[in-house]
Amino acid sequence: MIKIAIIGAAGRMGRRIAALAIESEKFDVVAATEYAGSEDVGKDVGELAGLGKFGLAVADNLDALDADDWPDVAIDFSMPEGTMRWLPILKQKGIPVVIGTTGLTESQQAELADTAASLPIVFAGNYSLGINLLCKLVARAAATLGEDYDVEISETHHRFKQDAPSGTAIMLAKSVCEATGRDYGQSVTHGRGGRQPRKPGEIGMHAIRLGDTVGEHSVSFGSLGETITLSHAAHTRDTFARGALRAAAWLVGKRPNQYDMADVLGL
């Protein structure tokens, strides 16, 4: 069995990753962590995941692990500050990591890339098979339609999501940019207000926070005669949790590098 550590184990994604891993016959959850001072430190990870007592308490470090229980891989769906706290520790211990944390700054992403020179890392804005396929379809559509078609991206998530736009929306916008030779920083406009006529080559980005929405994304291409919309809706977080576990299994034994879900899925 593949031994895994779950960083951010008490979060929405962490609980689903823990639940699916515990229920599987492929993974053994040997560590679960939260930030120091969290009210969930000391709680049983199985109970947090809704499965009943598992016998593993959430900790704020890895110090209590025996050598025989050292994880083969870690999965991190925490917060940017949590990811950056754990990254040097995982590097020192030589533990590959799957990172699903969104909202990392450019400097934090640069630090992650530097770490990947000596540690295998999968870093993706979304771990859904459907979303990663959508990125490929969006790139093909953008390259085929060209700049005569306006591009608008919208994303909707639950009211508790802290970063905007979502990491997935950024993935989609970058797919358009890479396919059409645009610069992401110069092309993307976040929302609109007042008198703002559309600029040639502009990519509109719109973030909606609504109730308990798991995740919805759409990319629309529009000319003066037609509109084409490619979209994806996630019905449950298990979609992302299964993808993260698939990435974790794939990452074990890989050489140091920064990978993404396209690598994991062979896309």
Residues 6+ apart with CB under 8 A from 37: 60
- Active-site entry in 157, 174, 217, 232: 157
Spatial CA neighbour of 101 closest among 118, 119, 83, 86: 83
What backbone phi and psi angles, to 5 degrees, belong to 200? Answer: -60, 135
- Active-site entry in 43, 93, 161, 254: 161
Is 157 marked active-site?
yes
Q: Determine the Cα angle at 19 with ends 15 and 24, to 5°.
A: 150
Strand order in the sheet with 227-234: 188-190, 203-209, 150-157, 215-222, 227-234
Three-state SS for 80? helix
Is 217 marked active-site?
no
Catalytic residues: 157, 161
